[in-house]
Amino acid sequence: MIRKSRFKLILLIIFAASSYAFAQDISTISGQDPFRINGSVTVKLQAYNTDRENPSRSPFMWYLQGNPVITVYGIVLPFSFRLSEQQRDFRQPFNQFGVSPYYKWAKLHLGYRSHTWSTYALAGHSITGAGLELTPGKFQFGFATGRLLKPVKYLDNPENIKLQSPAYRRTGTALRLGYGSETNNFSIVILKAKDDSTSLGSVPAEYQITPDENLVVSFLTKQTIARKFLFEAEVAQSLYTKDIRTAISDSTGGLMSKIFSPLIPDHESTTSSNALRASAGYQSDQFTLMIRYQRVEPDFRSMGAYYFATDLSNITIEPSLKLMQKKLTLAGSVGTQVDNLKNDKSLRTRRTITSARVNFVPLPQYSLSAFYSNYGLAQESGLLSIDTLRQSEVAQATSQAGVTQSLNLTGEKLGHNLMVNFNYQKLNDRNENTSQYSEFSTTILSANYFITYIPFSINGSAAFLYTHFAQDTVVTVAYGPSAGLGKSFLKNKMNASLYVSFMKNTVQGEDSGTTGIYSFQLGYKPFKSHRFALKYNYNNSNRQAAGYNSYYESRLDFDYTYTF
């Protein structure tokens, strides 16, 4: 009788639900606690003051926030609520709920689930329904069916404001068959999805909403030869019907249309398109060389993926080398990408990228990393000649370089950490008609030092930041120091910290004002479940540039958190 009650309780939790998801090994359910609740509740009081004409918040604010978590036989159900003087909010996990119990090589999917079986057929799209995955030995079988999209009704609005875009109810079924190991395998993934043309009422023509249908077949393989040579590929073809209400076509179509004609009829609005991705290379402990290629035709669409770029073809070469017993790593990449694969656009866009990266760790206490990248964007002739469009031609290159150094020294009493970072970025526009509006350069230099005195639990920090931004004839510079100090008391039950930051701003070499930030925090945890926190922040901006007003802001927060 007790077992039946437990079983009914679990079913009630699962099927009363409607993005929460989890997987559970049902072989361990007997060892799980039947019921447990934990979480936290926080009370916050905040006072705010400013001399701004339009304050960003009210002078006084309070809120009560909780995050209780209920666990029933290993099934975790998180809830949350928030109460304030302006808002009442409660969230629970039953809007989107899914469960995937498994036993050895068999897994069952119920409710709201997402699957990533391929890049083009089923790539992380959520399915509300049921599914099954079996992996006995080297065999792989997957099946999922259910709702892909909820119907969104059209709302008639007298003021002609589009509140939401209507959409048909969409259902789909996916099948996966495969064989092999993690290093050597091949599989096929088939997705069939269709919109329900009866799930919406009348919709204005301006929305251009049509009930569609889609079939995607994807072949995947991954092969490892002699443990060092790698090859991976996916080839997909999509049959997409833009409107299932169009007439059935008498055309024979392609081979895929003939094979899968029982699954998707060939309409006048049905199109066929392809996608391909592949990578091959050599990988060892010291040297790696990978070549990656991708091609996605302009009209390739898949109802099993939320988004991916189309009308592109790119190839990338990525070498890397490890030297000095792996203390030095050299890596880079060279690639190019083009669009307008069918040569039916006015122009073709070519993107090129070159990057290099160096990581050097000669000692455990010291590390250095540097990188450089150059990203180019240029237009080429398509249906129109580029010579006739020189005034608006896009021809840009963005270069970026950076260096980061870190030094860590830790002793019995003192710990030191010094980090210096430099970053430079510049955009060059080779079109003289647009360069004055688009070209810019940015330089950022930061130095941070942290020190800890272990016996007294004292930590301090000092930093300096310098930024330089130039565009056309305007140069803006900001620089200044910051410092912090913190200490723990009463065997780490209490901690206090102080932070100060000061920034000076200049435009064209002239003083444009200063900005100061000052903050203090005090935390106290007298018992394991109780924590108090007091925070004070003061910002002061003294701006002298035209169009900017000086102001100050102060904020005092008091928090109490109870953990259960």
Q: For 353-363, how does the pLDDT look when each residue is reduced to its tens digit (9 = 90+)?
A: 999 999 999 99
Helix (H) or strand (E) holding 255: helix 255-259
pLDDT on residue 154: 78
Report whether pLDDT(110) > 60: yes
Lowest pLDDT segment from 251-260, 396-405, 442-451, 477-486: 251-260
pLDDT of residue 517: 95
SS3 239: strand
Lowest mean pLDDT among 90-99, 335-344, 456-465: 90-99
Give residue 421's pLDDT: 98
Task: Yes or no: say if 20 and 530 are a contact pair by the CB < 8 Å rule.
Answer: no
Lowest mean pLDDT among 52-61, 190-199, 509-518, 543-552: 543-552
Cα distance between the two ends of the chain = 32
- Chain segment 518-530, per-residue pLDDT in tens: 999 999 999 999 9
Residue identified by tokens 């056309």 is 472
Report percent pLDDT > 90 for the chain. Answer: 57
pLDDT at 7: 46
pLDDT in tens, 13-48: 444 443 455 666 666 776 777 888 999 999 999 999
Higher pLDDT, 509 or 394: 509
- Report how far residue 515's alpha carbon sits from residue 513's, in angstroms, rounded to the nearest whole number: 7
Average pLDDT over residues 453-472: 94
Distances (CA, A) of 493 to 40, 324, 457, 497: 19, 46, 12, 14
Give 117-136 pLDDT, tens digit per residue.
Answer: 999 999 999 999 999 999 99
pLDDT band at 280 (very low <50, low <70, confident <90, very high): very high
Compute the average pLDDT of residues 266-279. Answer: 92
CA-derived radius of gyration, the chain: 30
Question: What's the pLDDT at 163?
Answer: 60
Q: What per-residue confidence (pLDDT) applies to 2?
A: 47
Beta bridge partners of 564: none
Q: Which residue in 443, 439, 508 sits closest to 471, CA to CA?
A: 439
Question: Could you say which DSSP state residue 121 is in?
Answer: S
177-191, 448-462, 543-557: range with lowest mean pLDDT: 543-557
β-sheet bridge partners, residue 558: 45, 534
Do 66 and 91 meet the contact criterion of CB atoms below 8 Å apart?
no
Three-class DSSP category at 533: strand
209 band by pLDDT with thresholds 50, 70 and 90: confident
* Average pLDDT of span 348-352: 89
pLDDT beyond 70 at 215: yes
- pLDDT the model gives residue 10: 44
Is the confidence at residue 152, as pLDDT, over 90? no
- The listed range with the strongest mean pLDDT (97-111, 345-359, 446-460) is 446-460
Q: What is the pLDDT of residue 141?
A: 97
Judging by beta carbons within 10 Å of its beta carbon (0-12, 13-18, 19+), is residue 479 exposed, middle or buried? middle
Break the chain down into helix, strand, coil percent, rounded to 5.
5, 65, 30
- The pTM assigned to this predicted structure is 0.80
Looking at residue 407, what is its pLDDT?
Answer: 97
Question: Cβ neighbours of residue 537 under 8 Å, at least 6 residues apart?
Answer: 517, 518, 519, 553, 554, 555
pLDDT band at 138 (very low <50, low <70, confident <90, very high): very high
Q: What is the mean pLDDT of the chain?
A: 87
Residue 390 has phi, psi (to 5 degrees) of -60, -30
pLDDT at 1: 47
CB-side exposure of 408: number of CA atoms within 13 Å? 8
- Asked if 265 and 250 count as a contact pair (C-beta separation under 8 A), the reply is no
- The helix (H) or strand (E) run that includes residue 256 is helix 255-259
Convert the pLDDT of each residue in 371-392 to its tens digit: 999 998 877 777 666 665 555 5
| 3-state SS class at 475 | strand
Per DSSP, the three-state class of 454 is helix
What's the mean pLDDT in 438-453? 95
More confident residue, 551 or 443: 443
Q: Is the confidence at residue 51, as pLDDT, over 70?
A: yes
| The residue type at 211 | P
Give the pLDDT score at 542.
Answer: 87
State what percent of residues in the chain have pLDDT above 70: 88
In the chain, how many H helices and how many E strands?
3, 31
Backbone angles phi, psi at 450, to 5 degrees: -125, 140
Average pLDDT over residues 437-454: 94
> What mean pLDDT is predicted for residues 238-244?
93
